[in-house]
Structures are given as C-alpha cells and as structure tokens.
Amino acid sequence: MDLNFTIDEPEILRSIAASDFGVTPENPDNTEALQRAVDYMAEHPGTRLMLEKAVYRFATEKQIVIRNVTDGLLDGCGAVLVWSEKGYFSVVNVCRFVVENMTIDWDWENRYRLADMIRVVRADEEMVEIEHFEVDEVQRNVWKSVNQYDPVDLTPGVEFGKEYEINYFQPCVRSIEYPGGNHSIVHHDGLLQDMQPGEVYCLRYEMYGTNAFVVRESRHVTFRNVTVWAVPGMGWIITSATAYTHFDRCVVAKKPGRNCNISATADSMHIGNSGGFVIVENCDFSFAGDDAINIHDNVGLITEKIDSRTYIVQTRLVCEEGDTIGILRDDILDMDFRAIVEKKETLDGRLQKIVFDRDLPEGCGENWVTYNLKFSTMNYIFRNNYFHENRARGLLLGASHGLVENNVLYKTQGSAIWTVVDIEPRWSEGIGVHDLTVRNNKFINCDVNHWASCVYLRTLIPAGDSPSPVFRDITFENNFFEDCSGFAMSFRSCGNITVKGNTFKLTHGRQLELPERGAIEIEKSSGIEFIDNTVVKTPYYRGPLTRNRYPHANKGLIRCTLDREPLTIYTDSLDAYHVTGTKLVPAE
C-alpha cells in the first residue's frame, strides 16, 4: 500500500476574469463564453480563471471541455452554474488543475424535474393511481424507475422496500393517463400489483443522462469546495487512467429549500479504469439516485473461445490494440499471465472479438475474465466524510490498497460497504481486493432495505461463490455498527481478514426481527480473526447462548455460538475463523 502520496497544486502566474470572455449572469447561455475562457487557460499555463459570485446559465447539450490545461485553477468564487440541457464539464489531459468554490445545478423550475416524490392513492392488479405530491401539475416525461422511500422521513429505502427499475419497469407499462392536477394513472401488466395505497416512492425521470464532471487522462486534479445540487446522472466520473485526484469539502445534496428529494440521479462519484491515487476527505454525499462512491476497474467476461488466441469478450473490457491484458480463471484466481491485444473487432454493443499475440492458458474459455493492465484503480484514502440517505449502497470498495477511516455512513438503502467482484450483462466490475483497512467508522442504520448485509464481501460471478481468497489481507478495526438490518458482516471468498476492536449494537427494533441481526456470516473463507470486539446488550440482542450448532434457514450454514460467546457467527466451516476477547457490555 502506497498511501504517502500527495496531489500537486498548480503554480499560478496570473489571474483573469471570466467576464472578460463574455461570461455574465444576464447571458441565457454561457457555454461558448466559458469555453473561450478555459481555452485561454490551455494556451497560458499558470492561469487562475475567476467567476464573480452570481448565477450563470447554460442552455446547450454541448459540454464545456477543459483540455490540455497545465497549472490551472477555475475559481467559482461562490458562483452557481445552472444547466437546462445535458452539458456540464469534461476535463481531459490536464495536469495540476483545481476546480473550487462553485455549485453545480439543474434548472428544475424552468426545464423539467429530474424526479418526483409520489404516493400511491389506489391500486389493483393492473392499475395504480399516483399523487405527485411535490407539484401541482404532473409533467409528462418518460418514467425511468420508482423506488420506495420512508413515508415519514422521505429518505431512500424502507423495510420490505420495493423497487422497479428501468429494465423491467418500462416494458410493464401499457399506458399512463393524466386526469389533471398532480395525479397520474398507470396501467400495467401486473408487475406493480404489490404497490399499496399510502406507500411513497421516488419516481426518476432521469438516471444515467450526463454527469457534472468527467475527468479523463489527467493527473493531479483537485476539486475543493464544489457542491452538486442536481445533475441528470453522476456527480463525478474519474476514468481513462486519470491519477492523483483529490476531493476536499465537496458536497452532493438536494438544494436547500427546493421541493425535491434527489440530488444526482445516479452515483455521487464513480472511479473506474483510472490510474488510482485518490483522496476523498471532508465530503458530504446524500440523496443520490445510486451509490455514494463506486471505485473499481472494469473487466470483460469471455463468452466464447474461437481458438487458442481468439476469444469473444464483453465490451466492458475497455482496450485498444497493443494493450496488455491479464487473465483470471472463472473463479477469479489470477493466472499471473499476460497477453497483448493484437487485433480487436467490435461485434455489437456488448461483445468484441479479440485476437491475442499468444495462446491463452490451457482451459481458458467461457466465464474466464480479462482485465486491462493500462488501468490500476488502487491506492486511495476516504476519510472524514459523511455518506447518508442515498439509494443503493454507500461505498463500493472494489479496489486494492485502500484506507477508509473516520467516516459516518447513515441510512443507506443497501450495504454500507459492498466489496465484490460483480459480473453480469449490465456491468462487470472488480478483480478482487487486497490490502484494505477500514477503521474508526460509524455504520448507523445501513442496509435499510436488507439487500445483503451492512458489510458485504462476495464474488457475484457466473461460476458462483469462488473458493479462492479473492478478498484478502483486510482489516476492520474500531468501527461502530448500530442497527444492522441483518448480518453486520458477510465474508465469502475471503482470506486473512482481521475484525478487531469493533462494537456491535442493536438500538431499535424492526418489523421483522431476523435471527442474524448483528451477526457474522462466513462462507468459503479461511483465516478470519475476531479480536477484542464488543457486543452491547440491548433488548434486541439475542444471547449469549450456550454452545449450539444448527442449520440457518435457507442458507445451509451452521450457527456456531461458542460457550457464552456474545458474537454470533454463521459459517460453513468451524475452522474458518477464530474468536478471542469478545466483551458483552450493558447498554448505557
């Protein structure tokens, strides 16, 4: 792990005003004017470009492309930049570049709403009547997805929460009526029959439309004091071998006072196929339509072997002729084998034919996995952040050599930490994780919907759970877990894991009190050490129990609670773990 890295700041030689290039609050579209200003930065290294504190509008889908800037600083000086079309920023091939002191927004009031909060009024097997209770008049946009919210707090996720995503939501809709006012009536094929009167959902009209900032092929880039109130997509994407990025005091949040309950309609931040060396600190991400941070490299599943050098591979493997490719077996065991892409032919949007410069290993074929060594998303620090009340998961830690410390994760719809190799038709992410430390964090009321567990490590691959230690050399230390919906931690395909000095507490009850609440799950793993952890005895704590072993319903695992041991563990092997020093303490 190399975590002593620094992100270089630009050397500034001059300051210029954006208004000199025609960027003004009165301009209905500042796209061309701001483009002229950032082009000046590229031509004059060492330039600080300053906006006046005001609201600036952008009304075209053309992106503002910040390209080939060296030693540059874009200072918003408190400005708010509002888009009414899917433009925003693209940052390409910059070095020592800073964006700071600005807010990014979408024109909800004059363009269209990115999402609505809706309440079910009445429903039957083929019809649902909806109240769009944030507005007086329904807008007639394409519906992308609906996911259930807490009807009181209006936050993402609820126990037994339901969700209908675009891939299966749109095909099920036969028609939508608009009887007037803020009501709509959806006629469907039966998929929505479980919706009940009184339930509250977030209806998204946008999901993956565009992104506030996409950074490519760059080094030493800093975002400081940048806020994203709304974007029809993600807040940040860091990709294309970009290395050394720093985020300090950045925010993704719904605009205060605005009648809405979503910020970015997809991830707050997505880091993939990068060059690594990332610091995210002192940030606050909330109310996004997808995960808070997803960090990983993409892989490509082999779907067919033509001959020993020619294979059909998912296009999720981003590669060019001449790139060096690594090979994983179908159980994600790294073969420590390298081959060069000699020829590539795209077959359709999902598949490509690749000819390598040498024979691939014996047995290589369907469900083996390829990855590009041009990318190395690793070496990262996430510290002193607040991730809360967003749809989906908190931190998707699919990269090695990481430090995650002193963060608070609160009320995430899914798992607080999701460390997986996840390969399916829609995405192919991760090659395994090693050398990761997660310490001094608070996980409070996470995995509200009970999708998995609060901390979840697993291979989600066609071959099933891998018997190999895909996730290894990982430490969870001095963390606080409160009100897990199910398992506090799930370890599958793991090796050499240390769980030390953590505290587990159940403060509030749930409608369904699962027997595994706050417990540990271990499967196809070894070398799991539990040292000096603490379990708080509350009315919702079950135990300690005398020694007993019995199958866990629907899992086939063994529940093994050692004699008077407070920490309950479900495992497929009693040799997979060792426990010492667990304390049971009374609730204060």
pLDDT at 574: 87
From CA 344, how far away is CA 102, in angstroms rounded?
A: 42
Domains 14-105+208-296 and 300-372 share a fold: no
Torsion angle, CA of 307/312/316/322, rounded to 10 degrees? 50
pLDDT at 357: 98
CATH 2.160.20.10 fits 14-105+208-296, yes or no: yes
Q: Give CA separation, 412 vs 351, 445, 467, in Å.
A: 34, 7, 30
Burial call 9-28: b when 16+ CB within 10 Å, e when fewer? ebebeeeeebeebebeeebe
Residue 435 CB partners (closer than 8 Å, separation 6+)? 1, 400, 401, 402, 473, 474
Residue 588 has pLDDT above 50, yes or no: yes
Please answer whether residues 404 and 397 qualify as being in contact, where contact means their C-beta atoms are separated by less than 8 angstroms: yes
pLDDT in tens, 254-269: 999 999 999 999 999 9
pLDDT at 542: 80
Residue 550 has pLDDT above 50, yes or no: no
pLDDT in tens, 401-460: 999 999 999 999 999 999 999 999 889 999 999 999 999 999 999 999 999 999 999 999
In this prediction the pTM is 0.96
Q: What is the DSSP letter of 230?
A: -
pLDDT at 546: 38
pLDDT in tens, 19-72: 999 999 999 999 999 999 999 999 999 999 999 999 999 999 999 999 999 999
pLDDT in tens, 90-118: 999 999 999 999 999 999 999 999 999 99
Give domain 393-586's CATH number out of 2.160.20, 1.10.357, 3.90.550, 3.10.450.
Answer: 2.160.20
Backbone dihedral angles phi then psi of residue 40, each to the nearest 5 degrees: -60, -40
pLDDT in tens, 310-363: 999 999 999 999 999 999 999 999 999 999 999 999 998 899 999 999 999 999
pLDDT at 557: 57
Q: Return the CATH class of domain 300-372.
A: mainly beta
Q: Where are the domains of the chain?
A: 14-105+208-296, 115-204, 300-372, 393-586
Residue 209 has pLDDT above 60, yes or no: yes
Please answer whether residues 30 and 58 qualify as being in contact, where contact means their C-beta atoms are separated by less than 8 angstroms: yes
Tokens representing 372 are 């590009």
The residue length of the chain stands at: 588
Please tell me whether residue 22 adopts helix, strand or coil conformation: coil
Residue 555 has pLDDT above 70, yes or no: no
Write down the mean pLDDT value for the chain. 95
pLDDT cut 70: percent of the chain above it: 96
Burial call 130-142: b when 16+ CB within 10 Å, e when fewer? bbbebbeebeeee
Residue 548 has pLDDT above 60, yes or no: no
pLDDT at 495: 98
pLDDT at 559: 55
From CA 246, how far away is CA 227, in angstroms rounded?
A: 14
Give me the mean pLDDT over the 212-236 stretch. Answer: 98
Tokens representing 211 are 């992104």
Residue written as tokens 């605005």?
258
Tokens representing 62 are 């053309």
pLDDT in tens, 125-180: 999 999 999 999 999 999 999 999 999 999 999 999 999 987 677 788 899 999 99
Residue 561 has pLDDT above 80, yes or no: no
pLDDT in tens, 453-496: 999 999 999 999 999 999 999 999 999 999 999 999 999 999 99
| Confidence band of 554 (pLDDT split at 50, 70, 90) | very low
pLDDT at 549: 45
| Confidence band of 219 (pLDDT split at 50, 70, 90) | very high
Tokens representing 443 are 């996980």
From CA 457, how far away is CA 384, in angstroms rounded?
A: 23
